Structure 1
Amino acid sequence: MHVASFFRQLRAVRGKPFPYVWVPEVHKDGVHFHVHFAVGSFIPRGQIDTAWGRGWVHIKQLNDLPVGSGAMAESRVAANYLSKYVSKSFLDTGNGVIRPPGLHRFDVAQGFKPSVVKVPGTSRDEVIEHASGAMGGRPARLWTSDEVDDWKAPPALWLQWDGR
């Protein structure tokens, strides 16, 4: 797979493992993919071009943070950016593509898997309240499987907090 090869090459060019997260997105043609990814530190454009080696690369620096913002604020900005592409996957039929259930919508670097945080609750509202407390505020966006008429899986809830 091109993405796996790209990240192996980028690790080799950088000389060490580094954390990243990536999200695939289907092109409007419904056949081809491109990848959005975020890293926690600056990587020179030339290193990315060399590691990819397959043509066009577009880089967007995620900034617009107040001076002195810490790692949590920076991570939230990156998560906010990538979540647009993760959330498109639930029922992305706008381009005639229906994604088969069970496929990954994002992946992280080997050795950098996020830890699981269980959010207790006996109701959706209670779970949202506990998660909001852990995240320091209410979510900016919410998606629930209740919005899908023919949902055929256990109830699902997705929350997104603002990048700030």
Structure 2
Amino acid sequence: MAEFFRGLRGALEDKPLPYVWVPEWHESGHGLHLHFAVNTFVRHRLIEDVWGRGFVSIKRITGQRHGAPKVEGARIAARYLSKYVAKTFDSEDLGGRHRYEVAQGFQPRAVRFTATSDDEALERSIDLMGGALPARFWSSAETEDWQGPPARWVQWT
């Protein structure tokens, strides 16, 4: 994937190219494909040429209001990709692969806080998300053979 995005950035005149990609197992369970988003329109043919490894399907993520701040479009793209990140919690192991990856230099800012309970952590998270309730919550306690320390994951749509 790093090679693909270097090639794509090169084809776009080496301008900084923020992106995020998420792998997903094919429905058959054989092989991975990926979903990705960038902050600019890229022609289908250019993606095919740079990818050079088979089938390419693209779609423009819609829903942003005309004249809305760019962050609105980013949130729409994040909602779209979060569906695929969420699926990896319910599917087979990704074999050490990342659940998602972002372009170097464009990693999201970490927001750290401490809490003394799951409920307090969830309450603080809801406050940080502007009071919106999460659409999905996952806990390692739900996974019978979980081997690591307790983990939680919350998704907002």
Q: Shorter-chain TM-score: what band?
A: 0.7 to 0.9
Matched position secondary structure for 2:89: coil
Show the 5 A alignment for 1:34-53. Answer: 34-53=33-52
- CA-based RMSD: 1.8
Q: Of 102, 113, 126, which aligns to 1:132?
A: 126
Instruction: Write the distance in 2 (CA, Å) between the matches of 1:105 and 1:153.
Output: 17
Q: How far does the alpha carbon of each residue in 1:76-125 deviate from its partner, in whole angstroms, 9 at most, with x for none?
A: 21111111111111241xxxxx3156431111112222221113211111
User: What letter matches 1:38 in structure 2?
Assistant: A
Conserved in 1, the CA contact under 8 Å of 2:88 and 2:94?
A: no
- Report 1 or 2 for greater relative contact order, CA contacts < 8 Å, sequence distance ≥ 6: 1
Show the 5 A alignment for 1:55-94. Answer: 55-92=54-91
Conserved in 2, the CA contact under 8 Å of 1:120 and 1:130?
A: no
Displaced runs of 4 or more, over 4 A = none
Matched position secondary structure for 1:88: helix
Q: Provide the TM-score with structure 1 as the length reference.
A: 0.84
Instruction: Write the distance in 2 (CA, Å) between the matches of 1:59 and 1:32.
Output: 19
What are the ranges of 5 or more consecutive residues in structure 2 without an aligned counterpart? none
Paired residue for 2:16?
17
Task: Compute the displacement of 1:67 (Å).
Answer: 3.0
Paired residue for 1:27?
26
Instruction: Write the distance in 2 (CA, Å) between the matches of 1:72 and 1:133.
Output: 19
**How many residues align structurally?**
155
Q: How far does the alpha carbon of each residue in 1:51-93 deviate from its partner, in whole angstroms, 9 at most, with x for none?
A: 112232111211123333323322221111111111111241x
Instruction: Write the distance in 2 (CA, Å) between the matches of 1:59 and 1:72.
Output: 21
What are the ranges of 5 or more consecutive residues in structure 1 without an aligned counterpart? 93-97
Matched position secondary structure for 1:5: helix
Overall identity of the aligned pairs, in %: 48
Q: Provide the TM-score with structure 2 as the length reference.
A: 0.87
Matched position secondary structure for 2:144: coil
Conserved in 2, the CA contact under 8 Å of 1:144 and 1:156?
A: yes
User: What letter matches 1:131 in structure 2?
Assistant: S
